[in-house]
Amino acid sequence: MFFTYQKPNLDTAVDDLKNLLDTSKKEVEKLLAEPKKTYASFVRPYQHIFEKIEWFFTPLSILNSTKNDETIQKVYEEMLPLLSEFDSDVKQDPKLFEAFKTIRSDEPNLNHEQRMILDNEILDFELTGASLLEKEQARMKTIKSRLSQLSNTYSQNVLNATNAYELILEDDAALSEMPASDLEQAKTEKDGKTVYRFTLKGPSFVSFMTYCSDSTLREQVYKAYSTRAPENDPIMEEILALRDEKAKLLGYENYAALSLETKMARSPKEVDEFLSELARQSLPQAKKELEALKAFAANEGCKALNSFDSGYYSKKLEKASFDLDEELYKPYFEQKSVVSGLFEFLERFFGIGFEPIDEKAWDEKATAYHLTRKGEIFGKIYMDLEARDDKQGGAWMGDWRTHAKRPDGSTQLPIAYIVCNFAPSKPGVPSLLKHDDVVTLFHEMGHALHHLLSTVNEPFVSGIAGVEWDAVEFPSQFLENFAYETEVLKIFARHYQTKKLLPDDMIQKLIDAKNFQSALGMLRQLEFGLFDIRIHQAPRSVAEIQSILDHVRETTALIKPPSYNKFQNGFSHIFSGGYAAGYYSYKWAEVMSADAYFRFVDMGVFDETTASSYVENVLSKGGSRKAIDNFNAFMGRDPDPTALVRLSGINS
């Protein structure tokens, strides 16, 4: 019924891909040779050609991000230009372009899914340069291939720099405030002695910056983190120059304008104003939050609050303000219990079940599950949740197969995977999560359900495919809000040793502390978004990149980072991810997610009618309709911009 994960044969993978692409080109040529081209005879098999390439490449892509080594890097890097060249050849073919336009105009009885695909493909052909002169098309192809290589190099440089650093402490003098579980994770043996090892990997870095009492050591680790990958300087310059050149070849003023062509937002100006207005509303409260933090830190003996001090004193202030001790919560969030509880919540919420599969994936700790509804299997998900040295940092959801009708008329069931970097389990030491980790897991599951609950029959607009980038975070941000609901926490927040439920007073403290320093956090995200949209409006030198970041920070960074901070060198979201001139999407989508969440607050968390409507009008539709149409179908109106400010507890 489902494809199972098989580790790619790295010795033959590149040649196998070449053969697949050659076969795919011949299949495209065969489609073009047909005298009469219809949606059924042309577009459906065309989609399947691209699906087969994605099916082949995804297992290697998973390996590259979760089991990275030099061999995988080499194979992956060799594949990228091959894929880029194939895509450019196809999307610049004038005969294909004309075929799609002809089908769009000649077939009046197309359904909305089919019309959406044709409109998207026609736009995609235009944005890939199908209307350009031959010389310009050749340049576009070169740009695309080079950008693919540069983005991968940027990402690899960040990963290598992250893996290269470690801090070894021979005693725990500066770690007396660190939770016992974090300290246990850091403990290791060296030269026959017990020492404490800290790295720049997410769980280790955050724990150290939050709990190490020695400011000098905190700055040492902070500096290592914020100066990673200096070799990315020229790569950023070249990426921005090539993106700008691409935009101008296609007739756009800059790359930001090109990027927004396929998003909900209409112009860079609209994005800038949206982010700036949120900053304006957040600034007064953020200043008050900072003054409270400075006063608290001063009372603790801190003469000047620096960037590398804020996490440490913020955690102490949070604990003092809400009597919130993160260490006391971790035993209630044992990883396996959280996953099981999330499944139970989703069964009650959406009526879907998760059945474990005895299947070996890419790592011994990666697990697989069938998704069921009314006893019928309708999807499959892999979950790889623990941090490893050979694993890319962060958390993400990926799609492998999409719900669709196959050319033979059978139904293809979807497959997704979730990757996180939670504290790893050890013999005798379970993986205990912070509540922030629980929120992250809910977030990524929101993405996965957007993909897996699709009922769309056309693969190019099924699941997350075809969804506007500034709407794709809507379902994920929506679901993470439920990680704070008492009814939901009562399902799984159970002490892994005593089996007792998380007490009501501890749940209330989590809720009360949810918006602690929310305005400061809002400003930080707005800083990233404003920086991103502004640097993508012209080619930029390294000095200009820094200057724009410094200018944005004048209104968003109330604690000025030290001059050595080179955050941009590790901003993988926009230089090696999909968020170039689109990082604002998190806040744009969060308006919709907050608004939709409040509908559930008003109607009741487990209101069956509301949940069914959300599945029917949002999750199941994928990219087959405009995101705003999905939202309006569920809510009966446009998004309310005040919902995000309300959810964040900001008094504007």
Of the candidates 462, 404, 399, 409, the one whose C-alpha atom is nearest the C-alpha of residue 619 is 462
Residue 651 burial (CB count, 10 A): 12
- Please, what is the angle between helix 215-226 and helix 202-211, to 10°? 150
DSSP letter for 456, please: -
Those residues whose C-beta lies under 8 Å from the C-beta of residue 88, and which sit 6 or more positions away, are 128, 129, 137, 140, 141, 144, 145
- The DSSP bridge pattern shows strands 167-169 and 193-198 to be antiparallel
Per the CB < 8 A criterion, the answer to whether 196 and 186 are in contact is yes
- Classify strands 376-386 and 367-373 as parallel, antiparallel or unpaired: antiparallel
Catalytic residue among 444, 473, 485, 527: 444
How far, rounded to the nearest angstrom, does the alpha carbon of residue 280 sit from its chain's CA centroid?
26
Listed in sequence order, the DSSP H helices in 571-626 are: 572-575, 585-603, 608-614
| Paired residues of 197 in beta bridges | 168
Closest CA to 271 of 259, 283, 281: 259
What angle do helix axes 518-535 and 268-299 make, rounded to 10 degrees? 140
The 167-169 sheet, strands edge to edge: 167-169, 193-198, 187-190
Contact (Cβ atoms closer than 8 angstroms) between residue 208 and residue 236:
no
SS3 at position 387: coil
Query: Tokens 């501890």 correspond to what residue?
Result: 506
How many Cβ atoms from other residues are within 10 Å of residue 352's Cβ?
19
The HSE-up count of residue 535 (CA atoms within 13 Å, CB side) is 34
Asked whether 187 and 423 are in contact (CB, 8 A), the reply is no
Say if residues 72 and 63 touch (Cβ distance below 8 Å): yes
CA distance readout (Å), 192 to 170, 186, 188, 427, 489:
12, 16, 10, 20, 43
- DSSP letter for each residue of 130-146: TTS-HHHHHHHHHHHHH
444 is catalytic: yes
Other Cβ atoms less than 10 A from the Cβ of 18: the count is: 14
Long-range residue pairs from 200-205, CB within 8 A, at least 24 positions apart, any chain: 200/161, 200/162, 200/165, 200/224, 200/225, 200/228, 201/162, 201/387, 201/389, 201/393, 201/421, 202/387, 202/393, 202/394, 202/421, 203/387, 203/421, 203/422, 203/423, 204/387
Backbone angles phi, psi at 637, to 5 degrees: -165, 175
Q: Is 419 helix (H, G, I), strand (E, B) or coil?
A: strand
Rounded distance between C-alpha atoms, residue 616 and residue 597, angstroms? 16
DSSP one-letter code for 411: E
Phi-psi group of 636: left, alpha or beta (phi > 0 → left; psi -120 to 50 → alpha; rest → beta): left
Residues recorded for the chain = 652
Kindly list the catalytic residues. Answer: 444
